[in-house]
Chain A
Amino acid sequence: MKIIFALLLIIFLAFSGYHLSFRNFKLPLFARHFYMTGIEFIFLGLLLGPRYLNILDSKTQSGLAPLAALLLGWIGLLYGFQFEIKKLRRFPLEYLAAANLQAGITFFLVLFGAYFTLPYFLAIPPSQKMVVALTLAAAAACTAQTGLALMSPDFPGRRHEFTRFLRYISSIDGLVALVIFGFAYVLRPSVLTDASVWSSLPRAAIVSLGVCSVLLILFSLFLQKFPNDDELALIVVGMAIVISGTASILNFSPLLATFFVGFGLVNFSRDKERIYRILISIEKPCYLLLMVFLGVRWELETAWILLLAAGYWLWRFMGKVAGGFAVTRIVVPQKKWPANLGFGLVDQGGLAMVILLDFAQSFPFEISGQVISLALLAIVLSDTASPHLLRILLHRSRA
């Protein structure tokens, strides 16, 4: 079985290479989307992991932990860089409200769904139920804009404002999820030894904000001497690992910590353009590696996972549709945009996967592998369905 799977995957990857080497070879939309998002790298991870070739065994994985920390730090910084206040102000405030409203609705719908349903199917200890539900809800709230990027050229000049609105939402709606995901770290058993959640929360918030400020000052000090691009890259790598490591030691999310530092840099540093250029230069390799790291953690021993993934996907879809409907009725009713706006927000992608990696690194529960598997399957499903749903939405908005 392993050999057959390995052979199939190698043939598939060889085909990928062939396709990539002949760029004029135009694939159908579904396959194009599949390649753009790099989902095949999840399967590469699965092949390299303990289930098949075992090249990335558990010892190797722990040896590569600094690389995972770098990935989390890098993507966290990059995400923080999307929140440049000066640029965000160019958009109406109602856009921000819309992004947060639909993300919030999806988040809470999936949170309740996961919290009350999952324990019936998976053996989740009571102390881990909320952490698992928060993680799945946070991953569900995020939207990627790959589908939009691919689809927009097919709809030139039509409903420009609408696609701009969808892009805006998908680029920032992960914020709510990310901040609430940070809350999961307060629920760690080691943090909650002799204090309740509510008394731990303010202390954790103050410590994490204080430490993030110190790290931001540290980053800025390294930038004072106008480093050249090579030196700057080194500083960014070093700082990303230091921030991730500090967050792990102090029991808060590396992703959230680097997000805060990225947010500070983009709004206060004179070197923001250069740092952004360095961060974005290896954005795609970072995401592809991220997928390999997640693929390694796949556990598909039980068929229940497929069912649960479908259920999770459905909850998320319902959340996005309900969120989109609420946006068109409450936040931007005067625009008369289609009520099924949520169809354009199904793509899940990048940030959701980073949240899953953060969860995998920080919460090595017995159940973590299965939780990641069901979420990954749902992401694959979302990425498969989103081009079609998006096409329906864009056609309707044109009509």
Chain B
Amino acid sequence: MKRSRKSQTTPFKPYVLAFLLLSGLALWLQKVPLESSWQHAGMTDFSLGMVLLVAFVTGQTAKAIGLPMISGYIFAGIVAGPYVSGFLSAGMVDDLHLIDDLALSFIALTAGGSLHLDFLKKRVKAIALNVAAQTLAVFALVASFVYALAEQFAFTKNLSPVEVATLAILLGVVCIARSPSSTIAVISECGARGVFTETVLGVTVVIDVIIIILFTLALTVCEMLQSTIAAMDHTVFAALTAEIVASIVVGAIAGKGIALYIERIGHDLALFLLFFGFGVTRLSLWLNQFMQAQFQVALHLEPLLICMSAGLTVQNFSTTGGAFMESLHRLSPPIYVLFFSLAGSSLNLAALGQTWLLALCLATVRAAALFVGAWLAGTASRDRPLHNRLAWMGYLAQAGVSLGLAQLAAREFSVIGDYFCTIVLAVITLNQVLGPITLRCALNLTGEAPPGQRPA
């Protein structure tokens, strides 16, 4: 008895000691006066390194109790972030955005590389049905809920009917968005494979693409509601479609380039992919500015979409998919820890504190809508009943793109902008904490996570 107890506690003892030592060092270093830019940069580096190590420890703890490791990383980020310990200040989180973007480009490459077209072709009907049913169900239920009950919440009761309608439409659309990064991270971590896994991944990626179109449509409708424009401008949609197609084509060409590099050169692939990720992030930004400045053309290539398309091309239209994915998998542990701990530190707990009741209701309605949509789609495509019952759990996670859309809407509609951003941040916080856990549970329950990866 005594021995078994020791074997349960001993493994974490060094980590606990390491955590205490690291915390002591951090507290001591915080007392050092920072007099130069170099010392400030050093503090950012130290904080980042510390968050990486602490996230590693919390990830291991999460794994031991049967949760996805990314939940541990997010938790470490929340604790280190500006709203709890303040160890990673808001300024530091801002400074680390470039590193964050780099990590996201790697995750997008992995997401694209994980899509097997042969398999997706077989599931095209199920994916299309899921996308349609979930989009409609989430939009309809969330928008109706906000429109009908806005008066009941202190946070929104002072808004006019038009403002409530605008808020309802925008929230309805933003709630459709997903988090491909969380989905791909949990799937990689579990090593899950199978019909359920590929469907969840396929639906998540497709929705992440069409959400941009839907959001632009929603913005136009809201502008009409607020009488800032008289009619729909079709050129906006044409331009948007052109941007998405251009991003996919650029990604496909880049993917061919990666495949050629692997075939002909092959070595230093990690470095090459780092340059690629950085290049895509920076060059799309530069190209957008260049086109605007030189030709007055607003062309916004989407780096995430370019990387996904590149990954998909390498995996499906070349013989180098194996080497490509192996290299990405080798890089993935530090990338995931970095990305999700920074995502955790970016979660706005202040917003959650202000609107927790509304956020909780919205998250519940969204989950219910996902259940309805996924169940209907699964039933129509004759999937296994177990899969249909569990599918909603795979779609809860929400991040990145929703936040970007919220900020965009806040700029467009100054009156409801703050309300909208705050609610979206609160809902994202809840979904990003719960989503990876429910997805992991779903993968275990469907039996698609290999037994060795499941908690004892």
Q: Is A234 in the interface zone, CB < 8 Å from B?
A: yes
Q: Is B97 in the interface zone, CB < 8 Å from A?
A: yes
With most chain B CB atoms within 10 A of its CB, the pick from A188, A233, A234 is A234
Q: Is A246 in the interface zone, CB < 8 Å from B?
A: yes
1/0 per residue, CB under 8 A from B, across A222-245: the answer is 101100001101110111111111
Contact check, A231 vs B333: say whether CB atoms are below 8 A apart.
Answer: yes
- Taking the nearest CB of chain B, how far is it from the CB of A237, in angstroms? 5
Q: Is A88 in the interface zone, CB < 8 Å from B?
A: no
Residue among A245, A282, A288 making CB contact with B48, cutoff 8 Å:
A245
Q: Is A307 in the interface zone, CB < 8 Å from B?
A: no
A: residues with CB less than 8 A from B are 17, 20-21, 55, 60, 62-67, 69, 188, 190, 214-215, 217-218, 221-222, 224-225, 230-231, 233-235, 237-251, 282, 284-285, 288-289, 361-364
A237: B residues at CB distance < 8 A: 52, 334
Supplied contacts A69-B45, A248-B46, 10 more A-B pairs, CB within 8 Å: A20-B264, A214-B25, A218-B22, A221-B14, A221-B17, A234-B333, A246-B29, A248-B38, A289-B274, A361-B38
- Taking the nearest CB of chain B, how far is it from the CB of A114, in angstroms? 22
- Taking the nearest CB of chain B, how far is it from the CB of A159, in angstroms? 32
Contact check, A245 vs B44: say whether CB atoms are below 8 A apart.
Answer: yes
CA distance A222 to B14 in the complex (A): 7
Contact check, B43 vs A55: say whether CB atoms are below 8 A apart.
Answer: no
Contact check, A241 vs B21: say whether CB atoms are below 8 A apart.
Answer: no
With most chain A CB atoms within 10 A of its CB, the pick from B97, B261, B268, B270 is B268
A65: B residues at CB distance < 8 A: 41, 44-45, 95
Contact check, B18 vs A221: say whether CB atoms are below 8 A apart.
Answer: yes
A362: B residues at CB distance < 8 A: 38
Contact check, B95 vs A245: say whether CB atoms are below 8 A apart.
Answer: no
Beyond A221-B18, A224-B14, A234-B337, is A66–B48 a contact (Cβ under 8 Å)?
Answer: yes
Contact check, B21 vs A214: say whether CB atoms are below 8 A apart.
Answer: yes
Q: Is B256 in the interface zone, CB < 8 Å from A?
A: no
Residue among A217, A221, A245, A364 making CB contact with B42, cutoff 8 Å:
A245
Contact check, B14 vs A17: say whether CB atoms are below 8 A apart.
Answer: no
CA distance A270 to B111 in the complex (A): 37
Contact check, A238 vs B29: say whether CB atoms are below 8 A apart.
Answer: no
B50: A residues at CB distance < 8 A: 238, 242
A17: B residues at CB distance < 8 A: 261, 264-265
Q: Tell me the B373-391 residues at the A interface (CB within 8 Å).
A: none
Residue among B41, B271, B274, B286 making CB contact with A248, cutoff 8 Å:
B41
A288: B residues at CB distance < 8 A: 268, 271
CA distance A225 to B96 in the complex (A): 30
A62: B residues at CB distance < 8 A: 41, 95
Beyond A55-B283, A238-B49, is A248–B264 a contact (Cβ under 8 Å)?
Answer: no
The 5 closest A-B pairs by CB, nearest first: A248-B42, A245-B46, A241-B49, A63-B98, A245-B45
Contact check, A225 vs B29: say whether CB atoms are below 8 A apart.
Answer: no
- Taking the nearest CB of chain B, how far is it from the CB of A227, in angstroms? 9
A190: B residues at CB distance < 8 A: 35-36
Q: Is B282 in the interface zone, CB < 8 Å from A?
A: yes
Residue among A20, A217, A231, A249 making CB contact with B46, cutoff 8 Å:
A249
Beyond A21-B264, A218-B21, is A63–B53 a contact (Cβ under 8 Å)?
Answer: no
Residue among A21, A55, A233, A364 making CB contact with B333, cutoff 8 Å:
A233
Q: Chain B residue with minimal CB distance to A237?
A: B334
CA distance A251 to B271 in the complex (A): 30
Contact check, B25 vs A250: say whether CB atoms are below 8 A apart.
Answer: no
1/0 per residue, CB under 8 A from A, across B59-102: the answer is 01000000000000000000000000000000000011111000
Contact check, B98 vs A231: say whether CB atoms are below 8 A apart.
Answer: no
Residue among B34, B36, B42 making CB contact with A244, cutoff 8 Å:
B42
Residue among B18, B42, B99, B334 making CB contact with A233, cutoff 8 Å:
B334
Residue among B25, B95, B98, B330 making CB contact with A218, cutoff 8 Å:
B25
12 contacts between A and B (CB under 8 A): A69-B41, A214-B25, A215-B25, A221-B14, A221-B17, A230-B330, A243-B49, A245-B42, A246-B42, A288-B271, A362-B38, A363-B38
CA distance A62 to B42 in the complex (A): 11
Contact check, B53 vs A238: say whether CB atoms are below 8 A apart.
Answer: yes
Contact check, A218 vs B18: say whether CB atoms are below 8 A apart.
Answer: yes
- Taking the nearest CB of chain A, how far is it from the CB of B273, in angstroms? 10
Q: Chain B residue with minimal CB distance to A64?
A: B98
CA distance A64 to B39 in the complex (A): 15
Q: Is B56 in the interface zone, CB < 8 Å from A?
A: yes
- Taking the nearest CB of chain B, how far is it from the CB of A223, in angstroms? 8
Q: Chain B residue with minimal CB distance to A67?
A: B99
- Taking the nearest CB of chain A, how far is it from the CB of B222, in angstroms? 34
B283: A residues at CB distance < 8 A: 55
A364: B residues at CB distance < 8 A: 37-38
CA distance A67 to B29 in the complex (A): 21
Beyond A218-B22, A230-B333, A239-B53, is A245–B47 a contact (Cβ under 8 Å)?
Answer: yes
Q: Is B15 in the interface zone, CB < 8 Å from A?
A: yes
Q: Is B32 in the interface zone, CB < 8 Å from A?
A: yes
Contact check, A249 vs B265: say whether CB atoms are below 8 A apart.
Answer: no
Contact check, B48 vs A241: say whether CB atoms are below 8 A apart.
Answer: yes
CA distance A250 to B337 in the complex (A): 26
Q: Chain A residue with minimal CB distance to B285?
A: A55
- Taking the nearest CB of chain A, how far is it from the CB of B130, in angstroms? 32
Q: Is B452 in the interface zone, CB < 8 Å from A?
A: no
A363: B residues at CB distance < 8 A: 38
Contact check, A225 vs B15: say whether CB atoms are below 8 A apart.
Answer: yes
A240: B residues at CB distance < 8 A: 49
A251: B residues at CB distance < 8 A: 39
Contact check, A225 vs B11: say whether CB atoms are below 8 A apart.
Answer: yes
B14: A residues at CB distance < 8 A: 221-222, 224-225
- Taking the nearest CB of chain B, how far is it from the CB of A385, in angstroms? 27
Beyond A234-B56, A241-B45, A242-B50, is A285–B337 a contact (Cβ under 8 Å)?
Answer: no
CA distance A66 to B25 in the complex (A): 19
CA distance A248 to B271 in the complex (A): 26
Q: Chain B residue with minimal CB distance to A22?
A: B264
Q: Chain A residue with minimal CB distance to B24?
A: A214
Contact check, B52 vs A217: say whether CB atoms are below 8 A apart.
Answer: no
Residue among A60, A245, A361 making CB contact with B49, cutoff 8 Å:
A245
Q: Tell me the B248-267 residues at the A interface (CB within 8 Å).
A: 261, 264-265
